[in-house]
A = this chain, B = another copy of it.
Amino acid sequence: MKNILIISGHPNLAQSHANKAILEEVKHLLPSVEISRLDTLYPDFKIDVEAEQAKLAKADIIVWQFPVNWYSIPALMKKWLDDVFTFGFAYGTDDTKLRGKKLILSFTTASPEEAYQYGGAQNYPITDFLNAFRQTANLCGMEFQEHIVSHSMMYMEGIMPAEVLTTVQDKAKAHAKRLVNIIA
């Protein structure tokens, strides 16, 4: 049985509509998965590096679950990356600890799918924003897997009609199923 670790990078999961629903559905479908919520673990941005490295070391599959903020991971998740992926643990020597593990980026965007193309509102296909993460995996000897994305995942209470929330939650469940199909 594979050890699966999901790192939740949402800065405030309690207020999330999409990421929260995705994680709940994943846990429902695959109870053995370990979910590490950075927002509740580290509200002060002080990452416990040893604890995080220990979780990573025993995982076979590592999933980063996050909402795209400014075409990248949220700041809290970047703090986790900057602090935890140290020289000697993640890269730089012959006995680093992440080699051979699979890395899956699982994320949501506010914009619709068609925005992410050359000439679209976001000007680039989503893969063009993933170079930093693909190369992070490369440098650490991890296997960078195909990402899983759901677009148009924004719901603003009181501003958008309630049906939007239903759609977002349905898409979140479908997203979770796609993720579980790959990792289970």
**Could you pull out 28 A-B pairs where Cβ atoms are within 8 angstroms?**
A69-B82, A70-B78, A70-B81, A70-B82, A70-B132, A70-B136, A71-B135, A71-B136, A72-B72, A72-B132, A73-B78, A74-B78, A74-B82, A75-B75, A75-B78, A75-B79, A75-B81, A78-B78, A122-B139, A123-B135, A123-B138, A124-B135, A128-B128, A128-B131, A129-B131, A129-B132, A129-B135, A131-B131
Q: Please indicate the chain B residues that have their CB under 8 angstroms from the CB of A85 in the complex.
A: 70
Which partner residue on chain B sits nearest A116 by CB separation? Answer: B135
Q: Please indicate the chain B residues that have their CB under 8 angstroms from the CB of A82 in the complex.
A: 11, 69-70, 74-75
Q: Which chain A residues have a beta carbon within 8 Å of chain B's beta carbons?
A: 11, 44-45, 69-76, 78-79, 81-83, 85, 122-124, 128-129, 131-132, 134-136, 138-139
Q: Please indicate the chain B residues that have their CB under 8 angstroms from the CB of A72 in the complex.
A: 72, 78, 132
Q: Is the interface of A mostly helix, strand, loop or mixed?
A: helix
The answer for the CA separation of A42 and B17 in the assembled complex, in Å, is 29
Beyond contacts A124-B131, A132-B132: 10 other A-B pairs, Cβ-Cβ < 8 A, are: A69-B78, A70-B132, A70-B136, A72-B72, A72-B78, A74-B82, A76-B79, A78-B78, A129-B131, A129-B135
Count of chain copies:
2
Q: Which of B79, B83, B122, B136 contacts A135 (CB 8 A)?
A: B122
Q: Please indicate the chain B residues that have their CB under 8 angstroms from the CB of A128 in the complex.
A: 128, 131
